[in-house]
DNA sequence: ATACATGCAAACAATTTGCATATTA
DNA sequence: TAATATGCAAATTGTTTGCATGTAT
């Protein structure tokens, strides 16, 4: 799923076109990973200084109902990304920037007989860590802090 | 980890013995699975009618810091069970009763080279569904509803 | 014109915190 | 008695909802 497809879907289902809706979807297009309501509000507050969380939450919830977005939870916060209709898969999730990378391995394939009595209805497999670019950024920051300490040591 | 070990640990660390603390741990001993703050409050409200959520949350949080309990999240609710020090593993989680069953398979073993650039810091693998006994209970309930409908049909 | 979208304010639920009091070692 | 535990009440955070208004079709 992506912004363009989502816009078409919304139109077909009779939902109205609004700039905010489009811009929220645009964010997901640009991001290619998970976003929280808060991140969306932050990202949009230049274009829409008064944008309210209700609108964001309502749209996220609508998008989820329409299978435009899929939801997961991180640290008690709901986060969303474009729903992937094509096939079942899992994700690497960067804890710093929220970007995700799809992995095609699903552990469930190997587990058919783990416990025949247990009726499986769902599963979650997520890998957390830091993507290459965030690792580099963190190294940069570390270095900067170190350098500035050298120049003007803290009291 | 179990109640007895936990009590010793608390004592050694200088925390005081209280009946509530002991009873909370006792609950986990009996349950052998996940409990939420709400479930704990419900279970203890006979013995301690006025027990406050603060106490429960504070103790859960303490127990987690001391590695007595481990935490995960289900439907936006934090749930806890005894921490397993022995070895790394994952769980089947019954969505009805919260009981868990350990499974020894860890998908990470097979994933060492998924993305060498991604710095892995953690992962979550959980399987959700219904345990045998909850399946039976649900069937019972269904049957009961059906039977009672036969006797006195709803308007 | 009509249905849908939004903002506002208020409600909600889960969780956390400051402070005074009570309890354990 | 000295340190820790608890209850109370209030704050915080993330999220949801009712209602009046605004806007896209």
A79 plus A105 within the same structural domain: no
Protein CA at A16 to nucleotide C1' at C11, angstroms: 28
Residue A140 maps to which CATH number?
3.30.1490
The pLDDT value given to residue B47: 93
B117 plus B70 within the same structural domain: no
Domain count of the fold of chain A: 2
The pLDDT value given to residue B35: 95
Alpha-carbon span A119 to B104, nearest angstrom: 18
Name the more confident of B47 and A109: B47
Q: Which nucleotide is nearest to B22 (CA to C1')?
A: D5
pLDDT beyond 60 at A69: yes
A124 plus A58 within the same structural domain: no
B98 plus B59 within the same structural domain: no
Chain A residues 72-111 with Cβ under 7 Å of strand C are: 76
Q: What is the pLDDT of residues B77-123, one digit of tens each?
A: 899 999 976 678 899 999 888 888 888 888 887 776 678 899 998 89
> Do the annotations mark residue B106 as ligand-binding?
no
B114 touches chain A (CB under 8 A): yes
Q: How confident is the model at residue B154 (pLDDT cuts 50, 70, 90)?
A: very low
B13 plus B70 within the same structural domain: yes
Q: Which residues of A touch B101 (CB under 8 A)?
A: 115, 118
Interface contact flag, A114 B123, Cβ < 8 Å: no
The pLDDT value given to residue A68: 95
B7 plus B76 within the same structural domain: yes
B68 plus B125 within the same structural domain: no
Domain boundary among A85, A104, A133: A85
Protein CA at A150 to nucleotide C1' at C13, angstroms: 48
Q: Is B77's CB less than 7 Å from nucleic acid strand C?
A: yes
Mean pLDDT to the nearest integer, B44-54:
92
Alpha-carbon span A123 to B92, nearest angstrom: 9
Residue B12 maps to which CATH number?
1.10.10.10
Protein CA at B70 to nucleotide C1' at C6, angstroms: 42
E strand residue ranges, chain B: 35-36, 69-74, 77-82, 90-94, 100-103, 119-130
Q: For residue A32, what are the domain limits? A: 1-85
The pLDDT value given to residue A50: 87
End-to-end CA distance of chain A: 52
Token pair listed for B24: 């909370």
The pLDDT value given to residue A42: 94
Point out the least confidently predicted range of A51-55, B101-105, B123-127. Answer: B101-105
């Amino acid at each position: 799923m992506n912004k363009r497809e989502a816009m078409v879907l919304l139109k077909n289902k009779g939902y109205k076109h609004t700039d905010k809706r489009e811009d929220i979807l645009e964010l997901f297009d640009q991001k290619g990973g998970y976003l929280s309501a808060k991140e969306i509000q932050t990202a949009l507050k230049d274009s829409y200084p008064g944008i309210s969380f209700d609108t964001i939450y309502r749209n996220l919830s609508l998008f989820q109902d329409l299978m435009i977005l899929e939801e997961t939870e991180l640290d008690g916060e709901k986060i969303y990304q474009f729903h992937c209709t094509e096939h079942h898969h899992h994700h690497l999730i960067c804890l710093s920037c929220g970007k995700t990378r799809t992995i095609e391995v699903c552990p469930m394939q190997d587990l058919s007989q783990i416990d025949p009595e247990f009726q499986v209805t769902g599963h979650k497999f997520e890998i957390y860590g830091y993507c290459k670019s965030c690792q580099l950024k963190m190294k940069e920051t570390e270095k900067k802090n170190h350098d500035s300490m050298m120049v003007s040591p803290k009291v």
